[in-house]
Amino acid sequence: MSTTYLCHNTEYAVPRYECVEWSSSSRLAVPQGIPVRDLVQATFKLFRDARIVDAIVFSLYFSLFLSILYLSFEVHLAFTTDDAMMDLFLDEEFEGAPYKVLLRLVRLVCCLCLQCTECVCVCVCVCVLLRLCWTQQNFDEVMTHDEFWTWMRGPLVNGLYTDEWYNGDPFTEAQKGYLGYHLRLVGGAQLRQLRVSNHSCLERRFVHMTAVHNGQVLGKYDSKDGTCFDFFEESLADTEPFGPPANPSKYKHTSGLVQVDGLFGFGPSYGTGGYVVEMPLDEVQGRAAVEELFRDRWTDRGTRAVVVSFNLYNTNTRLVTVVRVLFEFFPDGHLVKSAKFFTVKMAMYQTAKDMVRHCVRRVLCTVVPTSHALFTL
């Protein structure tokens, strides 16, 4: 057995080295340090392996999830159906003024070119020509009550109720009730209005400031009739009956309806109530219902939102289309329009592809979580 000597500094006042006898059999007697490097490497390996397993499980889970989404929806058919309905109700032109968008651009150019007299003259001529030559508009340009009712009495009822072929031949009874010859109107259409009362303003400025005019004391900055219509809040929603002068309680409030949110969910919440009017499936009765609302002045200064809702079913594709069109009337005179089209399957489990999707869902809900739990043990 070989013998060596281990020397170390004894750290005395006068440094010197002392040597002790060392042999291979006495290695365990020498104190060992903490293997920090080995611990760090082992810890890193554990975390790395765990992250790799998580990445694999997540990739599998996400792939199955995308497969389920793809198999659940007929993406192409849903898109084409929604596009057809958008063209029928939103892009359909009616008498009005679509030049307004271009008119705003021309006015902007005029404001930027005030120093140039020739430019201003050209802009004025363009504005006049737009007003004279372009007299059509569509859903996107509805900005007033008048244009709202023009759309209601035009593209809406014309799209919902079609009674003849393109060559003028009348529909038979079996052919009535279809939109675009293929989508059947289910249950008619529903009109729903949200309102505020004429004393809904919580804060009104300068009411105390009055002036005498023709012997009458009037508010300088108040409305002539003393009414005030605030922005919509569920706590300020009007629930009292209203109607034309001949029947002031004709339209009554209904609760327990579907929640309505403005501007694609980012606007005000209009709650679950409203004044509901049903448009029947019959063409004559449906058109008469809209005309009656128009004569009764169904929308006024207290109107804050009108929702048009109807459902369609296509027998050829077995798809259901849900249409929600929302008009929001604000107290500053602004009108915001939005429309939603949802096309989904009527029956979720019928074809072989549906059964594959069902199996993938079972795998997603059972196998993947179980495998992940086993890997993380």
How far apart, in whole angstroms, are the C-alpha atoms of residue 22 and residue 26?
A: 7
Helix 36-72 / helix 368-375 crossing angle, nearest 10 deg: 180
- Domain contains 262: yes
pLDDT at 347: 77
164 and 202 together in one domain: no
Closest CA relative to residue 289, chosen from 187, 366, 176, 189: 189
pLDDT at 238: 93
Residue 187 CA, distance from chain mean position? 24
Q: Is the dihedral of CA 277, 340, 79, 100 positive or negative?
A: positive
- Domain contains 122: no
Fill in the DSSP letter of residue 345.
Answer: E
List the pLDDT tens digit at each of the 377 positions of the chain.
555 444 544 444 444 444 555 455 555 455 566 778 888 888 888 888 888 988 988 888 888 788 777 777 778 899 999 999 999 999 888 765 554 555 555 555 565 565 565 565 666 666 555 554 555 678 988 999 999 999 999 999 999 998 889 898 999 988 889 998 999 999 999 999 999 998 888 766 555 555 555 656 555 566 677 788 889 988 889 999 999 999 999 999 999 999 999 887 778 899 999 999 999 999 999 999 999 999 999 999 999 999 999 999 999 988 999 999 999 999 988 999 999 999 988 877 777 777 777 777 777 777 656 555 544 54
Closest CA relative to residue 278, chosen from 270, 266, 269, 286: 286
Fill in the DSSP letter of residue 26.
Answer: G
Long-range contacts of 122-129 (CB under 8 A, 24+ apart): 127/103
285 and 319 together in one domain: yes
pTM summary value: 0.70
For residue 305, the enclosing domain spans 77-86+144-196+242-346
pLDDT at 16: 47
Angle subtended at Cα 147 by Cα 164 and Cα 287, rounded to the nearest 5 degrees: 35
190 and 255 together in one domain: yes
263 and 332 together in one domain: yes
- Domain contains 23: no
185 and 214 together in one domain: no
- Is 318 within 8 Å of 327 (Cβ atoms)? no
256 and 177 together in one domain: yes
- Domain contains 175: yes
Count of domains forming the chain: 2
- Is 179 within 8 Å of 162 (Cβ atoms)? yes
